[in-house]
Amino acid sequence: MKPQFKDEVRLQEHRFVILTGTDLPNRQIVSEVLEQGRPRYRKYAPIPARYLQSGDDVWNEKAQQIHERMIGEIQTMFIIEQKLKNVSNFLYHFRFGRILLSYNFIDEAIEHFKKAVENKPDFAKAHRKLAACYLKKEDFPEAKYILKKVVDSGLAFPDMYNDLAVAYTFLKEYDAAKNMLQKAVELKNDFPEADFNLGLLLFYSTINEQEDAKIVIPVRLIRALKNLRNAKHLREKFWQEHINTILEKIASHETDNILPMLRDLQLKITTRDDPASIEMDFFFLKFLFGNRVLSNDELDYYEQLIRAEVENRGNYADFWNDLGVIHLIQSRNYFLNALEEIEQAAEINPNFSEAQENVEKIRRIKSGFLILLRALLR
């Protein structure tokens, strides 16, 4: 990809470079954030088929829109960071921690997950994400410590047993890892990640890494990789390419570099998050702490995002709940527009009693609307 747009953004002690361009062969727009020359995170926007024959002007305009959205996101992140310093609500810190983790601000994410845990010690999901930070940093002893404490407390759910098994596996504590994976699959029948990790565990425990040129990948692991590829929640291009590359290498007996690739996939799968959930976390925090009213274009973007998730992944209650909240925020925008227009009518004609009465009625419920929305987002 040749970048078409480039900007530098300075925020506190950070200096970011944002590059955006079109990748027509892969039908996507790519926007990347770099710091000190190293990639922080990257986003892809697929190009709808109906636009593929459009001219360069259309693509320049689309790429510029994505570029400006990326700049706005990074700026908004630092506004939210400042606003949350004096906020104790565990859910806000958890949501912001997930955003930071997905954007590779790992140390910053750790601080917010710690605040979430501090304010709600029994919030198991926050413990899990805190451990994910340490897994990404490859600090496996710390990840193990966090996850084992939750497992021992009785608050764990199947994914946490799976995550703890991964920490044990990287520490070569294979018996403990096997126990955790067996517990995970007992609690969750259809669990392709645990099945994959169990296949890896059995494989790792029988090989001599000093002789990796002679490695033969067992059928059990190949089958687990194929099941992982077929998982509905891993249908995105990123995961499909990763898994297919490994399967192709195995099929052609190119196993000289297979161990690092398997370990990389294992860590990425274990620490993954749902992109749509991250987008919605960002949406809610922008609304609450972003220092501005969300535009109708932004609201439309998030509405389409949720509708696409419903279409692709089926009827999940949280999707419909998020969609309802978006519509309430849209209603608030129209509500504020209506107030502004009726105030204008009352200003033009002070003797227009109907407009004057309407202004007073709307002003009385204005604060209540925002209070309702804030209550729903807690």
Question: What value does the mean pLDDT take over residues 92-104?
Answer: 94
With a CB cutoff of 8 Å and minimum separation 6, the contacts of 57 are: none
Give the residue from 239, 181, 232 showing the smallest Cα distance to 205: 181
H-run or E-run covering 343 = helix 317-348
Strand locations in the chain, DSSP E? 5-11, 14-23, 28-35, 38-46
The residue length of the chain stands at 378
What is d(CA 221, CA 198) in angstroms, rounded to the nearest whole number?
A: 8
pLDDT in tens, 102-161: 999 999 999 999 999 999 999 999 999 999 999 999 999 999 999 999 999 998 899 999
pLDDT at 323: 65
pLDDT at 302: 66
Contact 59, 22 (CB under 8 A): yes
Q: Where are the domains positioned within the chain?
A: 5-82, 87-270, 293-376
- 3-state SS class at 190: coil
Name, of 17-26, 36-45, 76-85, 270-279, the range with top average pLDDT: 76-85
pLDDT in tens, 12-64: 888 999 999 888 777 788 899 999 888 888 888 777 666 656 666 666 778 88
Q: 44 - beta bridge partners?
A: 30
Identify the band that residue 196 occupies on the pLDDT scale cut at 50, 70 and 90: very high
With a CB cutoff of 8 Å and minimum separation 6, the contacts of 173 are: none
pLDDT at 358: 79
Query: Other CB atoms closer than 10 Å to residue 243's CB: what's the count?
Result: 20
CATH of region 87-270: 1.25.40.10
Per the structure block, which two tokens stand in for 286? 């922008």
pLDDT at 240: 93
Question: What value does the mean pLDDT take over residues 229-255?
Answer: 90
pLDDT in tens, 325-334: 666 666 766 6
What is d(CA 79, CA 122) in angstroms, rounded to the nearest whole number?
A: 29
What whole-number percentage of the chain has pLDDT above 70? 79
Identify the band that residue 249 occupies on the pLDDT scale cut at 50, 70 and 90: very high
